[in-house]
Structures are given as structure tokens and as C-alpha cells.
A and B are shown apart, each in its own frame.
Chain A
Amino acid sequence: MKGRNIVISSILVLSVASIPFVWSDDDSEEWQEYSRHSTGVAKITNPVYLQECGDCHMAYPAGLLPADAWQRVMNGLEDHFGDNAELDPSTRKQITDYLIANSADKSDYRRSQRFAKRDKKSNDNMRITETPYFRHEHNEILARLVITNKEVNSFSNCNSCHQKAEQASFKERDILIPGYGRWDD
């Protein structure tokens, strides 16, 4: 009987104690930080990377690829997926160091840790779109929604559908596929 009282009072105390968390403002900094760690990847913090790579395409957050893949990307800028993206040696080193230090396998963000996982097909690939996690997340997306959709053009254009991709947020509620609408899994 005494034991049961303790259990009941514990449940009461715990439920009262949890009220502030449940009722806390969704937009509080703590909540956003927790939310980002569980659903996002780290934001880009290096202005040189943002500028140099963002000139031609959305600068991808470093936490979308593991370090070895970034290293391969940065070793081959003369033929960067068919484009020439050469950089002077000091800028290249600065960006490479940043990407490797913040790569998916070094991040404590949950989504980055998923991006860090490799399989045989993606082992020596350097495309974010070829990582097992990316393929798994996009396997229901039809080509006509992306590749032949003139407003999207390619799976590489994250920000065409992920409206907060440039803030490193890939939440489902922020997906809006042009010409199709919201995506609901």
C-alpha cells in the first residue's frame, strides 16, 4: 500500500513537473536548439565557404556529407560535376578544413549522423544525393516532381522544395514542391 502511494505520488509529481516543458513556448531558444539537433543539421558558419560555393549553387551544410567525401570534392574542383570550380590554394585549404571539421561524421546533429552512413553504392561517391540516407528519404519522390519539373530541375537544388534549406532546416512541414504543393509523407 505504501509502495503504491509512492508510485502514485511520483506520477503526480512528475506530471506536474513536466507541465513547464509541455507548455513552454515552441519558439524558445532551448526548444529550437533541441529541435535542430533532432531534425536539422548545423548551419553554415564559414563566410568564405558560403560565398565561394554559394556563387554557383546553394552552399550545402557541411553536415550533409562525411569528411572523406568532402575531401574528394575539394580535391577535384577543376572538374566539379562537369563545371570548373578552381580556387586558389589558400582559399581551397580554408574551405576544405572547415568542411572536414564540420562534416556529417563529426556532427552531433542526428540528421548528420544519418548522412554519415555509407553503403557499397555510395562508398566512393561524393554526391549528397547518392548517400543511403538521402536516397531513403527521397525514394517516394517521382521524377516529374523534381527532375522534369522546370522549377526544381535537380535533386541538388534542395532549396527549391525545402524552403528553409538555406537555414539548414529540412523539416517536413517546410517542404513545398513547386507546381505540386506540400509534401506529406
Chain B
Amino acid sequence: MIIIFPFVLLLAGLFSGAVWADNAAVSEMLDVYIQQGAVQPDAQAGKAIWLKTFIASDGSIRSCTTCHGNDLKQSGKHVKTKKLIKPMAPSVNPDRLSKTRNIRKWFRRNCKWTIGRECTVVEKASLLAFINQQ
């Protein structure tokens, strides 16, 4: 058991690496977040953040779903302009999560609007892991 355990950990590490490996931009960003302290990106935690509601300073209730909707494979709608937002799920919209510049840009903007502050690296890593699975 003592001998096997490190192997299990190693295999788990390899497996999680393989999960991200199909998307260079996601791998790069996760590496950055991991280096900054987001040790284990957790898709379940990411899902919880996606669905969580926050109360803005103007009293409005905001969530990722306000514009993107609950189903990431469906299109969303900008809450104010009503402009169509293409699906977030890379499985139906391969453009998503394909550029690190866009990942950085939208995390900065949308965390500030939705939560009222920038997301922590742990939150970003978890959200990225969650969206990447869709």
C-alpha cells in the first residue's frame, strides 16, 4: 500500500494533465493559476461559482447565468443589450477558451461585474476547469 500510493498520485496527476492537454490555452492558463497557488483546479467548485448569485451595489442580483444561462451548450443573451452570446461550451463552440488573451480579458471584466471584484486564482482555475468540461 505504501508503495502503491505514490503511483496512484502520479497516475492521477498524469490523468488530470491529459484532460487539459487537448486545449493549449486552457493548459497554459491553468499552469499560471497553479503556479500562483490554485493547487487543484476543481470543476465542481467551478460549477458552484457559475451558479452562485451575488448582489451588486445597485441591488441587482447577478450571476454568470444572468447573461450566459444555465446550460453552457446554449446561447446566452446580454442582460442589458440583449445581444446574443454564443455558447460557452467548447464542445459546441470551439472558439471558447481557445485564446489566453480572451480568457484573461473576460475573467477580469465579468468577475468585476458579476461578483464586484476580480476573481481569485482558485476561482478562475475552478471556473476554467468547469467550462472546459462542457
A residues 27-58 with Cβ under 8 Å of B?
A: 56-58
Q: How far is the CA of A154 from the CA of B78 in the complex (A)?
A: 13
Known contacts A84-B109, A86-B108, A86-B109; decide if A157 and B82 are in contact (CB<8 Å): yes
Chain B: which residue is nearest A159 at the CB level? Answer: B83
Known contacts A57-B78, A88-B105; decide if A83 and B113 are in contact (CB<8 Å): yes
**Contact (Cβ within 8 A) A84 B110:** yes
A residues 67-90 with Cβ under 8 Å of B?
A: 78, 81-88
Q: How far is the CA of A87 from the CA of B105 in the complex (A)?
A: 7
- B35 interface contact, C-beta 8 A: no
A residues 114-161 with Cβ under 8 Å of B?
A: 153-154, 156-157
Q: How far is the CA of A90 from the CA of B105 in the complex (A)?
A: 13
Q: How far is the CA of A83 from the CA of B80 in the complex (A)?
A: 9
User: Looking at the complex, which one of B81, B82, B112 makes contact with A84 (CB distance below 8 Å)?
Assistant: B112
Interface residues on B, range: 10 to 19
- A56, A78, A81, A156: residue with the most chain B Cβ atoms closer than 10 Å: A56
A48 to chain B, nearest CB (A): 12
Interface of A is mostly: loop
- Chain A residues closer than 8 Å to B112, beta-carbon distance: 78, 84, 86
- Chain B residues closer than 8 Å to A82, beta-carbon distance: 58, 80
Chain A: which residue is nearest B86 at the CB level? Answer: A55
- B residues in contact (CB < 8 Å) with A: 58, 78, 80-83, 105, 108-110, 112-113
The 7 closest A-B pairs by CB, nearest first: A57-B81, A84-B113, A84-B109, A84-B112, A153-B82, A86-B109, A56-B78
A100 to chain B, nearest CB (A): 23
User: Looking at the complex, which one of B83, B108, B109, B113 makes contact with A57 (CB distance below 8 Å)?
Assistant: B83
**Contact (Cβ within 8 A) B83 A56:** yes
Q: How far is the CA of A157 from the CA of B78 in the complex (A)?
A: 12
- Chain A residues closer than 8 Å to B109, beta-carbon distance: 84-86
- Chain B residues closer than 8 Å to A58, beta-carbon distance: 83
A180 to chain B, nearest CB (A): 18
Mark contacts of A85-125 with chain B using CB atoms, 8 A cut-off: 1 yes-contact digit, 0 otherwise: 11110000000000000000000000000000000000000
B54 to chain A, nearest CB (A): 14
- Chain B residues closer than 8 Å to A86, beta-carbon distance: 105, 108-109, 112
Q: How far is the CA of A82 from the CA of B59 in the complex (A)?
A: 13
B64 to chain A, nearest CB (A): 14
**Contact (Cβ within 8 A) B110 A156:** no
Cβ contacts A to B, 5 pairs, < 8 Å: A57-B78, A84-B112, A86-B109, A154-B81, A157-B81
Q: How far is the CA of A87 from the CA of B104 in the complex (A)?
A: 10
Chain A: which residue is nearest B102 at the CB level? Answer: A55
- Chain A residues closer than 8 Å to B105, beta-carbon distance: 86-88
- Chain B residues closer than 8 Å to A84, beta-carbon distance: 108-110, 112-113
B52 to chain A, nearest CB (A): 18
